[in-house]
Amino acid sequence: MRLLYVVLALLVVGAGSAFYVFWKQQQAEAALIGFAYANGRIEVERVAVATKYAGRVADIRVVEGDFVKTGSIVAEMDVAELLAELAEAKANERQAVEGIGRAEADVGIRLADLKLAEIELERAITLQKKNAGPVAEVDRRRAQRDVAAAALKGTRASVEDAKAAANAAAARVARLEAVIADMTLKAPTDGRVEYRLVKAGEVLAAGGQVATLLDLADVHMVVFFPTAVAGRIGVGGEARIVLDAAPEYVIPATVSFVAAEAQFTPKFVETKAERDKLTYRVKVEISRDILDTYRDYVKAGLTGNAYLKVDAAAQWPDFLAPKLPPAPDGGASQ
């Protein structure tokens, strides 16, 4: 009889526990009227740091896991040969500038020659009118004047050629300086170094990657909803994210993207029956302020649920009120 009582007691406790769980589930589902939810994964945008030009890697400044700011030096390519070319280009530029000076000096000389030829021509014409000089002398002086004018014109053209050569030399200097600057590879955005792909001394082709960064300012969860739900979701709508790794916390988020065209649900999201239905891809984005505070905890691939408000009049239930962990500096949770 005692064993029977024990068994009956266990059955009662088990039934009560099952009923409680069922009741809690019903309460949660009732509280989610006006909301939609789906499971997904945290995704972080990846940014490649790559060399624009072929060359040898001189130095890598980062290791995997480092946090870098925009403009921080990630790696440096070897520029010894480029520096030699730059020195040569600057010498050619100085030479071209000096060539402008010489050409302008020649213009002054040719201008003086032309003025002298014009004076001598006028004198020969005056003497010829007084029958004090031959006509042939006038013709000779006129020819000299024309030659001086042509020489002046040619010298002025030489000045323009010299200026063009100087501009070309300056452009080559500027191009080499830009190439040398591009050989210092900098972080295009704030982020964490995910992979360091090369070592110092390796030779890369143009476009070769040296590292990949996780852009911690662009973190979101991708979820999929059927047509009936997706049609009620708008960009900018309120959302909440609850991660499987930390279910006690609720992360406020915002709908940043809703696909304009339906697609099949990815294989890892739901069962095959669900995948057979066309769904819409939705991105739920975490705000930059939260990411700045908790950037050390951001990890791609974390699974969880995203909850979206689809009824503007619905009120968020208490268990989805925003709740964040204590800030890394010891501040209180938000």
Q: Are 70 and 91 contained in the same domain?
A: no
Give pLDDT, residue 279.
Answer: 82
Closest CA to 30 of 308, 225, 317, 252: 317
Statement: residue 96 has pLDDT above 50: yes
Give pLDDT, residue 209.
Answer: 95
Half-sphere exposure of 34 (CA within 13 A, CB side): 10
- Tens-digit pLDDT profile for residues 9-28: 555 555 555 443 433 444 44
Question: Mean pLDDT throughout 199-227?
Answer: 91
Poorest-confidence range of 111-115, 172-176, 236-240? 111-115
Q: Are 248 and 104 contained in the same domain?
A: no
Confidence label for 52 from pLDDT (cuts 50, 70 and 90): very high
The number of domains in the chain is 3
Give pLDDT, residue 175.
Answer: 94
Q: Are 256 and 240 contained in the same domain?
A: yes
> Residue 97: inside a domain, yes or no?
yes
Statement: residue 331 has pLDDT above 50: no
Three state DSSP letters for the chain: CHHHHHHHHHHHHHHHHHHHHHHHHHHHHHHCCCEEEEEEEEEEEEEEEECCCCEEEEEECCCCCCEECCCCEEEEECCHHHHHHHHHHHHHHHHHHHHHHHHHHHHHHHHHHHHHHHHHHHHHHHHHHCCCCCHHHHHHHHHHHHHHHHHHHHHHHHHHHHHHHHHHHHHHHHHHHHHHHHCEEECCCCEEEEEECCCCCCEECCCCEEEEEEEEEEEEEEEEEEHHHHCCCCCCCEEEEEECCEEEEEEEEEEEEECCCCEECCCCCCCHHHHCCEEEEEEEEECHHHHHHCHHHCCCCCEEEEEEECCCCCCCCHHHCCECCCCCCCCCCC
Closest CA to 210 of 49, 76, 62: 49
Domain extent, residue 188, equals: 48-78+184-209
Higher pLDDT residue, 296 or 256? 256
Statement: residue 310 has pLDDT above 70: yes
Statement: residue 240 has pLDDT above 70: yes
Question: Mean pLDDT throughout 294-305?
Answer: 85
Give pLDDT, residue 171.
Answer: 93
Question: Mean pLDDT throughout 242-259?
Answer: 91
Question: Mean pLDDT throughout 253-268?
Answer: 78
Q: Are 269 and 313 contained in the same domain?
A: yes
Give pLDDT, residue 150.
Answer: 82
**pTM of the shown model:** 0.66
Question: Mean pLDDT throughout 57-84?
Answer: 94
Closest CA to 219 of 323, 291, 143: 291
* Edge-to-edge strand ranges of the sheet holding 73-77: 184-186, 73-77, 55-60, 203-204
Q: Are 39 and 61 contained in the same domain?
A: no
Q: Are 129 and 176 contained in the same domain?
A: yes
Bridge partner list, 212: 48, 195
CATH number of the CATH domain containing 58: 2.40.50.100
- Tens-digit pLDDT profile for residues 138-167: 777 778 878 878 877 778 788 888 888 889
Give pLDDT, residue 120.
Answer: 77
Give pLDDT, residue 332.
Answer: 42
Q: Are 41 and 282 in contact (CB under 8 A)?
A: no
